[in-house]
Amino acid sequence: MNKKILPPLTQIPPHLQTIADYEKQAEQHLAENTWHYLQGGAMDEQSVRDNLEQFKKIQLIPRLLNDLTQGSTQCEILGEVFPHPIFLAPIGHQQLFHPDGESATALAAEVLGSNMLLSTFTNTDMRLIKKENPFKWFQLYWQGDREKSLALVRLAEQQNFKAIVITVDSPHTGIRDRERRVNFQLPEGMQHPHTPTHIPLPEISTDQHPVFQGLMQIAPTWADIEFMIAQTSLPVILKGVLHPLDAQKAVETGVKGLIVSNHGGRVLNSAISPLKALEQIRKVVPNDFPLLLDGGIRRGTDVFKALALGANAVLIGRPAIYGLSVAGALGVAHVLKILKEEFEITMALMGTARINEINQEYIFQD
C-alpha cells in the first residue's frame, strides 16, 4: 500500500510546538525514500545519534538575581552584527522537500533575521536570492578545479554574499546504507543551476585506484584553500573541520572562521561529535576566532550549551527542512521562531544578558 503524502500546510496548527513536533509532522509530507534521505547518515548512523546525545550529557547551572533588562541575543561575527546566533545550514536539493525550495528558506531567514548559507547544490539560482539581504553566505563544494570553483565565488561576490564557506569534509560521499536500501535517487531533470550533481572524474588506467587516483585527484587541498583566500576579498570559512591540528593550520593559512561539523553524520560514521570537537578546537585557536557549530541542535538549551563550549553561533539543518516540508517559508520561519524564543528564555533563566557572557561556568559535564 502506497503511503499517502500530505500537501504542505498553509497555516500552522496548534500542535506544532517543538522541533520534535515538526519532525513527526514532516514525515507525513515526504515520500518514503526522501524521508530516509533526510534522516539518514553514514553506515550504521552512530554519528547521527551521537550528535544529538552529546547535548543530553551537559547540564545547566543558572546564575540568579542578575539585571537582565538590557538583554540581547545579538552576536558579532567577522564584523557583521546578527540579531541572533541561529543560522541556517547549507542544504542542497531543497525542492525535494517543497516546490519553493531555497526561495522559501531565504524568505523565512530574512523575516527572522537568520543568516542563511546557500548550498552549491541549490535548486534556486543564487541570483534569485534577494541581493539586498545582508545575512547570507555562499557554501562552495569544490568543483574539481580552481577555475570552476572561482567562477562560483565571483558570482557570489556579485550577488552580495558576505562570506564563502568551503565544505572540506566530503571529498567522497559517505556510505549511506539507508539510502541504498530504499534506492534513493534525485528526481530526473532536477535543476541545479550552479553545478552538475556529479563532477566529471579524471581518466585513470586499469591499474589505478578509482578513489585515490580518481576522486581524490580532484579533491581540494590546503594549497587550493590558500589560492581561494588570495583570489577573493570575502572571508573564507571552512566547514567540516573536527581536528584541532586542522583548526590551527586553518588559522595559519588565513581562514577567517570554522564551522565545526561532521556533516550531520552523513559522511564518516563514528566521527567525533561536533560538540566534543568544538571544545577541543576552541582551546587551540585565538579567543576572537569565529567558531560555529553544526549538528544536533534541537532546542534553545542546545544553542546555549554550544555557546558555552565556545561557539559564536550555531547552524540548523534538518530542523529547517522539517519546517520547509511541513509549510514552506512559514514552516521554516516557525522553526526559527521556536528555537529563537527557547534560546531567549534559556538566556534569561540562566542569568545571562548577553551572548558574550555565556561560558563554561554555566554548564556541568559528567
90 among annotated binding-site residues: yes
What b/e readout covers 327-342, taking b as 16+ CB neighbours within 10 angstroms?
Answer: bbbbbbbbbbbbbbeb
297 among annotated binding-site residues: yes
176 among annotated binding-site residues: yes
Q: Is the separation of the CB atoms in 240 and 261 below 8 Å?
A: yes
295 among annotated binding-site residues: yes
Q: Is the separation of the CB atoms in 354 and 33 below 8 Å?
A: no
181 among annotated binding-site residues: no
165: enclosing H helix or E strand: strand 164-167
Residue entry with cell 586553518: 250
Give the other-Cβ count within 10 Å of 227's Cβ. Answer: 15
44 among annotated binding-site residues: no
294 among annotated binding-site residues: yes
317 among annotated binding-site residues: yes
10 among annotated binding-site residues: no
- Catalytic residue status for 194: no
40 among annotated binding-site residues: no
296 among annotated binding-site residues: yes
CA 294 – CA 101 distance, rounded (Å): 21
Angle between helix 244-253 and helix 222-231 axes, rounded to 10 deg: 40
**Among 98, 194, 263, 334, which one carries the catalytic annotation?**
263
Residues forming beta bridges with residue 241, ordered by sequence position: 260
266 among annotated binding-site residues: yes
22 among annotated binding-site residues: no
Burial (0-12, 13-18, 19+ Cβ within 10 Å), 312 = buried
144 among annotated binding-site residues: no
318 among annotated binding-site residues: yes
Whole-number Cα distances in Å, 124 to 127, 191, 195, 295, 332: 8, 8, 12, 24, 16
CA 235 – CA 111 distance, rounded (Å): 25
Q: How are beta strands 291-294 and 313-316 bridged, if at all?
A: parallel
**208 CB contacts (<8 Å, ≥6 apart)?**
214
Catalytic site positions: 263
Binding site feature residues for glyoxylate: 37, 141, 167, 176, 263, 266
Binding site feature residues: 37, 90-92, 119, 139, 141, 167, 176, 239, 261, 263, 266, 294-298, 317-318
Binding site feature residues for FMN: 90-92, 119, 139, 239, 261, 294-298, 317-318
